[in-house]
Amino acid sequence: MSGLEPLLSLLFLAPVQDVAPPTEAPIARLTRLTDPVARLDGRARAEETLFYWDKSADLRRGDGVRQGVHGDSEVLFLSDLTVVRVTGEAELRVGKDASGDRKVHVTEMRGFQAKVRDEPLTFLLPGGTEVTARNTWFRLKLDELDRRHVIRNAGPGEVIVKGPVTPVEEGAVLPGHQVAIPVVTDPPSVTGVDDDGWSGARLEVPVGIRSETNNESLILSGSGVARVGGARLKIHPGRSLEIRRPQRKN
């Protein structure tokens, strides 16, 4: 068997990411600069395309942005007027942790530049890398081969990098400095399981993805890339995938 692609039925389940109730105040304002840009509604799980005659939309906790290769947008955080300009293909969501600190959960991004003011802002990149800034202007982009995140800090504050790969002293990118962080898409700690209940298909579940099985299906949730047999499955933050058991022919 070369793969399970023809046999898989992939269904999006209810989001697991925390989302704001309808009465909660917005935390940011999205503005479309060039097409295509869409607002992601975390509660309704809907995508709303923005146009030049209606180019702005509020973002509450759990809402996000998706844009195409030629898309360009700005996300303005309302509490201190921090601005993040997103360029090119991207998917991200805004939120807050239990302490109230602002987070940007990045699923995919070509690059951005951010002018962060009084409050810290943390970008959660695929693979577990965290980039936190405060009182500084910095830029992050992918290199030409899509192998490294290049961070340039214009200052005056520091940019702190944490994660599985941190090739900077104490994780700080000082003003006027640049650092390249290898892109981590598949964390190194991977569990491989031969599961006869899935037609002998090999199941590879990286750290960051949770798997549950029952008599009819396999459910994957979290963030990362899992493999079932020959199928490579990308799990986006806040979503789950259900893989139904292949039906055997008599």
What confidence tens digit (pLDDT) does each residue in 190-242 have? 444 444 434 456 677 776 677 777 767 777 787 777 777 667 777 777 677 77
Confidence of residue 16 (pLDDT cuts 50, 70, 90): very low
Options 3.60.15.10, 2.60.120.1440, 1.10.10.60, 3.40.50.720; CATH for 28-182 is: 2.60.120.1440
What confidence tens digit (pLDDT) does each residue in 28-58 have? 999 999 999 999 998 878 899 999 999 999 9
Domain parsing of the chain, residue ranges = 5-12+187-244, 28-182
Beta strands 56-59; 46-49: pairing state: unpaired
**Residues 6 or more apart from 51 whose CB is under 8 A from it?**
32, 35
Under 8 Å between Cβ of 77 and 102:
yes
Give the whole-angstrom CA distance, residue 121 versus residue 134.
7
Q: Residue 212, Cα to own-chain centre: how many angstroms?
A: 22
Confidence of residue 185 (pLDDT cuts 50, 70, 90): low
* DSSP secondary structure code for residue 171 in this structure: G
Give the whole-angstrom CA distance, residue 62 versus residue 46.
12
What confidence tens digit (pLDDT) does each residue in 53-110 have? 999 999 999 999 999 999 999 999 999 999 999 999 999 999 998 888 999 999 888 9
* DSSP secondary structure code for residue 248 in this structure: P
Asked if residue 8 has pLDDT above 80, the reply is no
